[in-house]
């Protein structure tokens, strides 16, 4: 009997399919893998609707960072289509005023032509402190930035600023859920992962050691192992 399950992966802010490349071979054994395109709209509702229109009828859903915000919106719109949920280095809370102000500053810089400078400023918060001089990870962030482009980056930031508070919806998530984070995520603190795991019935929390905000390239084997265990459960 064919027990394969389509797997839908949603990247984060200024991330492209490259972010999932280190773990896709391990996931692909469990079913066809699709990386969602999340760069075409400037609000969460529209992003989720478009992804759902292109997605398989039923799938395992993993969202990283901004992709987690999109995953929550997919759960609001079509929970019956999500067989399993993985929330990777993300949070359920809405933007704080301080975060919104930072994002508006990034939008202005990107509009003014300093998109590359914004990526350079984001990088230290994306990786574990021990990896801040890692040239390959910095290149990955720049390559993904080129994949996304400044105009889509601005759309993404606009969507992130306007996202709703997903905490009230946590208790309604009924599918098997993995909450995955790093021990030193300096973009979204892992305390917010604990908050999600505590709010979702039966959720499993995994904290990867020596890992920042980008577990797929920072700790590819441990990240893949956690996602494989989630698909097997």
CA distances from 32 to 35, 44, 152, 196 (A): 10, 25, 27, 28
Give me the residue label for tokens 């809405």: 94
pLDDT for 209 beyond 60: yes
Other CB atoms within 10 Å distance of the CB of residue 143: 12
- Which pLDDT belongs to residue 1? 42
Contact 85, 178 (CB under 8 A): yes
Give tens-digit pLDDT for 88-137.
999 999 999 999 999 999 999 999 999 999 999 999 999 999 999 999 99
Query: Which two structure tokens, joined as six digits, stand for 121?
Result: 């400023």
Question: Is this prediction's pTM over 0.85?
Answer: yes
CB-neighbour burial class of residue 57 (10 A; exposed 0-12, middle 13-18, buried 19+): exposed
pLDDT-derived band of residue 2, with 50, 70 and 90 as boundaries? low
CA distances 164 to 67, 73, 158, Å, are: 14, 9, 12
Q: What pLDDT, on the 0 to 100 scale, is given for residue 217?
A: 98
CB 72 within 8 A of CB 166: yes
């Amino acid at each position: 009997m064919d027990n394969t399950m389509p797997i839908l992966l949603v990247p984060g802010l200024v991330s492209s399919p490259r972010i999932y490349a280190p773990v896709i071979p391990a996931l692909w054994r469990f079913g066809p893998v699709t990386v969602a395109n999340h760069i075409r709209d400037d609000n969460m509702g529209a992003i989720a609707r478009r992804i759902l229109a292109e997605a398989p009828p039923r799938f395992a859903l993993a969202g990283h960072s901004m992709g987690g915000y999109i995953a929550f919106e997919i759960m609001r719109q079509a929970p019956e289509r999500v067989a399993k949920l993985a929330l990777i280095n993300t949070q359920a809370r809405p933007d704080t005023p301080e975060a919104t102000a930072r994002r508006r500053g990034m939008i202005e810089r990107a509009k003014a032509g300093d998109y590359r400078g914004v990526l350079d400023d984001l990088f230290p918060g994306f990786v574990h402190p021990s990896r801040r001089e890692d040239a390959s990870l910095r290149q990955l962030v720049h390559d993904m930035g080129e994949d996304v482009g400044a105009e889509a980056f601005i759309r993404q930031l606009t969507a992130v600023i306007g996202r709703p508070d997903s905490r009230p919806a946590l208790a309604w998530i009924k599918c098997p859920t993995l909450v995955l984070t790093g021990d030193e995520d300096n973009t979204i603190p892992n305390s917010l992962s604990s908050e999600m795991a505590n709010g979702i019935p039966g959720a499993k929390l995994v904290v990867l050691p020596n890992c920042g905000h980008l577990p797929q390239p920072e700790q590819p084997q441990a990240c893949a192992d956690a996602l494989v265990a989630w698909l097997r459960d």
